[in-house]
Amino acid sequence: MIFAVIESFSQTKVLSPVPTRPQLAWHETEYYLMMHFGPNTFTGKEWGDGNEPEDFFNPSQLDCRQWCRIAKAAGAKGIIITAKHHDGFCLWPSKFSTHTVRESKWKDGKGDVLKELSQACKEYGLKFGVYISPWDRNHPDYGTSKYNDVFTGMIKEIIKEYGPIWEMWWDGANGEGPNGKKQVYDWKRFENTVRQYSHKTVLFSDIGPDIRWTGNEKGIAGDPNWNFLNTEGFDRGAGAPSTDTLNHGNYIGKYWIPAECDVSIRPGWFYHSNEDDKVKSPEQLFDIYLTSVGRGANLLLNVPPDERGLIKEKDSTALIEFKNLRKKSFSENLLKQADTYYEFSQKEFSFKPLVIRNLDTASAVYGINLQNFIVQLQKPVKINCIVLREAIHFGQSIRRFSIVLYNGDKAIGEVQGTSVGRKRILTFPAVTITSFKVYLADAKGNDNISGIAAYLIDDNLVEK
């Protein structure tokens, strides 16, 4: 883990975890899709038994380019595919299994979903990630030491044949295999294998090491949401920290392990035709965006292809309209013409400009413990949303803040919060303001606000 030495206003040195370069790049992806696809798509199950005939997998119109076109149009930055779910069926012709696309009648056994999707992601400029379940209800070696060789071999195979792999997704599922036994996973070996063959790949699991589960499948990050986590004494799956801890992180944690919010656009994770009328609305997806990305986490939205191997029109329509809501809501930063100043005392403001109005910049002024600043608008503006961004490459130092809204000399409202992280979206009833003050009342080290913006979004979209 990398640590930064931070100078506080009192010149007290503290050590704080900071993200690695691959983690920083991951933070900037913000929102991407997951694709649950496999035998369960055709059987109607969520967890397959592992004994489904390979011929059950036979998509008639599989088109990974359609997936990528929709993902790109929806503003998603990548796709993570369930290369192997708990049933053990491999969407690539793995030499470590006989339960794969090679044994199916799809494309006469010559098909390869991972190859088609990895190529399509490259074509459309999307990141390519892989979910590979350690549980395998089909493999005869599961439940023995040999299976750790098998799983390690599959990891190498995927990285070498279909890389670059941006994110590898592990859950902690551990149930019975065909011999009735459970596996003792060699997690350290699996992790070291990825580090050896693909050091830029970020690893997801309950406890990282790079990204953590947020403790629910509703797309909700904790408030507050700390990018820190202590993992000593914990394991993946049943041995993971409490869901509350995963949801919030540790206020004082040893490792930088940020939260990823996974949620499905449908009630289930695999496609089921009886859920065609239960696709989440664009407004529901926007609300999820506020409780995930808006709390400093990343959003992983599952969109399962149907039996044809295509994304349904209802799903794609919801995705595009969700993109339109985000674009409409956040396209006009109402602070573009505002003046921003440091506050060095309670009575006096410095007229040295603080240029941080571009939310997407990583630039900021460092070296001073900037406790407070004021944003002065040139004319009254109606807003109901303020977005803060922290320079997380210096760590997560902001621990509590308040924003006091003014119309003239009169304070007309206050918004309070705890964590900021990469992005914090704050919504409130619409008010007309001429200025606001940001008070960073409790911070660890430098207060690295690197971006600030204000918007007037549809009142119906404001987080309740």
Q: Of 306, 330, 354, at which residue does a domain stop?
A: 330
- Contact 155/190 with Cβ under 8 angstroms? yes
CATH number at residue 86: 3.20.20.80
Same domain? For 225 and 101 the reply is: yes
Query: Alpha-carbon dihedral of residues 112, 118, 122, 123, nearest 10 degrees?
Result: 30
Contacts for 217 with CB less than 8 Å, ≥ 6 apart: 262, 263, 264
∠ CA 285-384-332 to the nearest 5 degrees? 80
User: What pLDDT was estimated at residue 94?
Assistant: 98
Write the CB contacts of 104 (distance below 8 Å, at least 6 apart in sequence): 54, 55, 56, 57, 58, 111
Q: Give CA–CA dist 166/163, Å, rounded.
A: 8
- Quick one: 349 and 248 in the same domain? no
Amino acid identity, residue 377?
L
- Cα–Cα nearest to 433, from 455, 463, 402, 460: 455
Domain of residue 408, CATH code = 2.60.120.260
Residue 67 shares a structural domain with residue 201: yes
Pairing of strands 372-390, 339-343: antiparallel
Residue with tokens 């790079």: 210
Q: Is 406 in the same domain as 263?
A: no
Domain end among 275, 298, 330 = 330
- Tell whether 346 and 323 lie within a shared domain: no
- Looking at the fold, whether 345 and 321 belong to one and the same domain comes out as no
Whole-model pTM over 0.85: yes
Q: Phi and psi of 316, rounded to 5°?
A: -65, -35
* Rounded CA separation 183/139 (Å): 11
Q: Which of 302, 330, 358 is the last residue before a domain boundary?
A: 330
The number of folded domains in the chain is 2
Residue 320 and residue 343 in one domain: no
Q: CA 140, CA 144: separation in Å to the nearest integer?
A: 9
125 and 208 inside one domain: yes
Assess whether 394 and 279 both reside in one domain.
no
Same domain, 189 and 40: yes
pLDDT of residue 366: 33
Tokens of 403: 């924003």
Q: Are residues 183 and 56 in the same domain?
A: yes
Is the same domain home to 94 and 199? yes
Rounded mean pLDDT for each run of 10 residues along the chain, 464 residues in total? 36 66 97 98 97 98 98 98 98 98 98 98 98 98 97 98 97 92 96 97 97 97 97 90 96 95 98 98 98 98 98 98 98 85 45 39 36 86 95 88 94 94 96 92 66 92 76
Tell me the sheet residues that pair with 254.
none
Give the span between the Cα atoms of 95 and 329, in whole angstroms: 49
Domain span holding position 357? 339-461
